[in-house]
Amino acid sequence: MARLLHEGQVVGEASLTYAGEQSTYAGRLALQAAGTLVLEVLAMDAANANFGHVRQQVTVEP
């Protein structure tokens, strides 16, 4: 799952699906407002208590 956060609040969200290469997933988010946001990708397997994430700051121009 990919999420866009603005000041800690989720402002966009999309599922990532298998991209055809080993361990690789892809998806698309809509950019609806300009500003500095945080892109977060979450991987989740609650049955095994396995989770992972990565965050990156992105700047969206008007």
By the criterion CB under 8 A, which residues form the site for another protein?
Answer: 2, 4, 14, 16, 19, 23-34, 39, 41-43, 45, 48-56, 58-62
Q: Quote the CA–CA distance of 11 and 7 in Å, as a whole number.
A: 10
Burial 27-49 (b: 16+ CB within 10 A, else e): eebeeeeeeebbebeeeeeeeee
At closest approach, how far in Å is the CB of 8 from another protein?
18
Residue nearer to another protein on the CB measure, 10 or 53: 53
At closest approach, how far in Å is the CB of 62 from another protein?
6
